[in-house]
């Protein structure tokens, strides 16, 4: 069927806005070479070692990319250590991309080390990181649409650092195209829908590690489709990741009815679930338009029915971040790290569960 004039016009507008959002999100970010390590170090800076599991192909054209946008039928592993400049030399909550790689560690995010691992090496690295840092909690992060591999690594390192999160960071990176146009959005949705089994594999691998006692899963935007389907797949097989205690859905680009329905099918042994929303989320309003008007779970008003009642019935704890403001409404949970990631830090450090009254109050302040 050919689109009507009104539909075609809507698609043109949506495409233009998607491209604008993509340009804004990657301002001054180098297109190549970001993961080439630099030997220069800054004493006052910090380093965050991110362990990686990915279904991307190894990059053949850019040694500083490590993994490309092309999908792989086999899981690959690696570790990237990101050097982050001192707080007084940067804007906390943001990534300071260098104008050209490798960058100046006194003011830029740079790569301190990067390397590939095999499966056994990845398993050993998780255990070694837990023991070396005396941390028995892991956080698995699933990025969203329009993310290159280096985007995802640096973003994860940023909010782990700014949130002072006492975790072993594990990134699951699915093969997003890393482009902000309509064709890439549709491509990414198809790829995301095929990436859940691999996330189940990552969860099972981390869950089996004796050095890890608790897992928190955090997903963003389209990555929440991957996470939701992985949890559903796990539950439908009668299994559970016993150490998975909390799941944080941040700005999920998932239809609200699908989100509620899938959560309801997870059964009584499911982890605690928190939903972070922004009612002014511009990216999700575009997604809603592209999905034929289906309300996205990430931009509802959680105090308004039918959403309030549905969330209460499923015991999902919703946090409305709208009032935090900021330029990027779709990523403010990471940008406003003092308000949001600080809650996760306190929850992990004090043994609270996501959604406990104390944790909820921490976000509401």
Structural domains of the chain in order of their starting residue, each with its CATH number: 5-364 (3.40.50.1820)
pLDDT digits (tens, 9 = 90+) for 288-324: 988 889 999 999 999 999 999 999 999 998 889 998 8
Write out pLDDT tens, residues 323-346. 888 778 888 888 876 666 555 555
Answer whether residue 363 shows pLDDT above 90.
no
Give pLDDT tens digits for 117-174.
999 999 999 999 999 989 999 999 999 998 999 999 999 999 899 888 889 999 999 9
Per-residue pLDDT of 62-105, as tens digits, reads 878 999 999 999 999 999 999 999 888 888 888 999 988 888 89
Burial class (CB in 10 A: 0-12, 13-18, 19+), 293: exposed
pLDDT at position 1 over 80: no
Give ∠ CA 338-342-348 in degrees, rounded to 5.
170
pLDDT value of residue 332: 86
Quote the tokens at residue 183. 């064709």
Q: At CA 127, angle to CA 338 and CA 352, rounded to 5?
A: 40
What is d(CA 244, CA 40) in angstroms, rounded to the nearest whole number?
38
Exposure string for 345-361, b = 16+ CB within 10 A, e = fewer = bbbbeeebebbeeebbe
What integer pLDDT is reported at residue 334 of this predicted model? 82
Give the tens place of pLDDT for each residue, 195-225. 999 999 999 999 999 999 999 999 999 999 9
Task: Answer whether residue 8 shows pLDDT above 50.
Answer: no
pTM of the model: 0.87
């Amino acid at each position: 069927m050919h689109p009507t004039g009104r539909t075609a016009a809507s698609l043109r507008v949506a495409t233009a806005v998607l491209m604008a959002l993509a340009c804004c999100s990657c301002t001054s970010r180098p297109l190549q070479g970001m993961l080439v390590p630099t030997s220069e170090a800054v004493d006052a800076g910090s380093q965050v070692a991110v362990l990686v599991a990915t279904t991307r192909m190894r990059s053949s054209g850019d040694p500083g990319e490590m993994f490309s946008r092309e999908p792989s039928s086999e899981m690959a592993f690696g570790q990237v250590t990101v050097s982050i400049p001192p707080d007084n030399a940067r804007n906390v909550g943001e990534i300071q991309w260098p104008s050209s790689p490798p960058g100046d560690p006194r003011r830029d995010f740079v790569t301190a080390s990067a390397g590939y691992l095999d499966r056994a090496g990845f398993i050993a690295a998780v255990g070694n990181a837990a023991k070396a840092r005396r941390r028995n909690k892991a956080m698995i992060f699933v990025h969203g649409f329009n993310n290159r591999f280096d985007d995802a690594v640096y973003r994860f390192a940023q909010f782990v650092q700014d949130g002072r999160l006492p975790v072993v960071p594990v990134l699951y990176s699915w093969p997003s195209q890393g482009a902000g146009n309509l064709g890439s959005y549709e491509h990414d949705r198809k790829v995301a829908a095929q990436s859940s089994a691999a996330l189940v594999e990552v969860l099972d691998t981390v869950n089996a590690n004796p050095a890890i006692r608790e897992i928190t899963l955090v997903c963003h935007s389209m990555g929440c489709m991957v996470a939701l389907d992985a949890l559903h797949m796990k539950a439908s097989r009668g299994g559970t990741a016993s150490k998975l205690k909390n799941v944080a859905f941040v700005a999920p680009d998932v239809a609200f009815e699908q989100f509620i329905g899938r959560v309801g099918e997870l059964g009584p042994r499911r982890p605690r679930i928190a939903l972070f929303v922004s009612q002014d989320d511009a990216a999700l309003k575009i997604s809603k338009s592209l999905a034929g008007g289906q309300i996205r779970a990430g931009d509802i008003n959680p105090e308004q029915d039918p959403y309030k009642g549905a969330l209460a019935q499923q015991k999902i704890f919703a946090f409305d971040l709208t009032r935090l403001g900021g330029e990027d409404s779709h990523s403010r949970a990471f940008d406003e790290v003092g308000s949001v990631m600080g809650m996760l830090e306190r929850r992990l450090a004090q043994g609270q569960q996501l959604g406990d009254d104390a944790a909820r109050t921490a976000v509401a302040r």
